[in-house]
Amino acid sequence: MRVRVVGAGVVGLTCALRLAQDGHRVDVVAAGTGEQTTSSVAAALWYPYRAHPRARVTGWSATTYRVLCGLADDPATGVRLRRGRELFRRPTAEPWWRAAVPALDRVRGDRLPPGYVDGYELTVPVVDMARHLPWLRDRSVRAGVEIRPGRVPALADTFTDGVHAVVNCTGLDARELTGDTSLTPVRGQVVVVSQVGLDEWLLDQTDPGHLRYVVPRTDTVLLGGTAEEGDEDRHPRPETAEAIVARCTALVPALGAARVLAHRVGLRPARPSVRLETERTAPGPVVHCYGHGGAGVTLSYGCAAEVAELVAALD
């Protein structure tokens, strides 16, 4: 089939690659690519954050976990496996997504920083999106995918050049393209600092609006963050950046020696549930794949596999 993917974030590119690998003729049309996408701002720590429903998210996350682990042996992919801990200030149960990972260990007592009483430790993929997005784009092109810039005013307009089906991976832009008022932007601001010898990630969600996460990469460390519902300001706020650095440094004192390298803001496309389904429209079938919240990277390869199944069912 001739399939057109709209959107070139991590979800759009993984869908395009998977469809091309299945033998379809695929092109991608996107208003923004690379650093212009929300995916480029992501901490990209494998973690099912603000995505629903739980059962389907766990399945998609498990698939992505396996794929990313398989990519970690190649430095060009930007994927590395890192041990890390989520910390809690009160006793907690195992995470609802426990079935998605092969191993998870409880952390208690003197293995916790002061002020924390519970936690768990696990190894997960951490993806440097500055490397992974270009790698994913190049791999898609080698598989025969054509990627071109372009803003789509309406999904119906994409059924040109003999296109049989469209895959809608437009994230927050799906509000306008589909009239989906359930989509909500969740503003995330992060700070990129120099690497100071850290190799373990840490996460504390005690305050859902003022998160603490420290995600080491090869040459940098990403510090976060915020989760501001309904806020669409894409400009970094100096006072927010200062608060992020202060929170993370209190958790990891070694960050006091880090140099601030960059400030980034992204708008997570939150929705009551990820929309992954086929819609029959007058011009042709549209497979929707959007609303991944703060888990686009975590769900990407799993959702791409299901998109491929839906497209195959159109034959």
What mean pLDDT is predicted for residues 130-137? 96
pLDDT tens column, 27-52: 999 998 878 888 988 999 999 999 99
Residue 119: exposed, middle, or buried by beta-carbon count in 10 A (0-12, 13-18, 19+)? Answer: buried
Tell me what the pLDDT averaged over the chain comes to.
96
Q: Is the pLDDT score of 315 beyond 80?
A: no
What is the CB-side half-sphere exposure of residue 57 using CA atoms within 13 A? 27
How far apart are alpha carbons 211 and 209 in whole angstroms?
6
Please tell me the predicted confidence (pLDDT) of residue 35.
82
How far apart are alpha carbons 275 and 234 in whole angstroms?
24
Instruction: Tell me the pairing of strands 2-6 and 25-30.
Output: parallel
Of the pLDDT bands very low, low, confident and very high (cuts 50, 70, 90), residue 300 is very high
How far apart are alpha carbons 184 and 313 in whole angstroms?
30
Please tell me the predicted confidence (pLDDT) of residue 280.
97
Alpha-carbon dihedral angle through residues 40, 46, 52, 55, given to the nearest 10 degrees: 150
> Which residues does 170 contact at the CB level (< 8 Å), separation at least 6?
6, 7, 12, 152, 177, 290
How far apart are alpha carbons 8 and 117 in whole angstroms?
41
pLDDT tens column, 258-282: 999 999 999 999 999 999 999 999 9
Please tell me the predicted confidence (pLDDT) of residue 114.
92
Instruction: Tell me the pairing of strands 165-168 and 2-6.
Output: parallel
Residues in the chain: 315
What mean pLDDT is predicted for residues 183-198? 97
How far apart are alpha carbons 253 and 251 in whole angstroms?
6
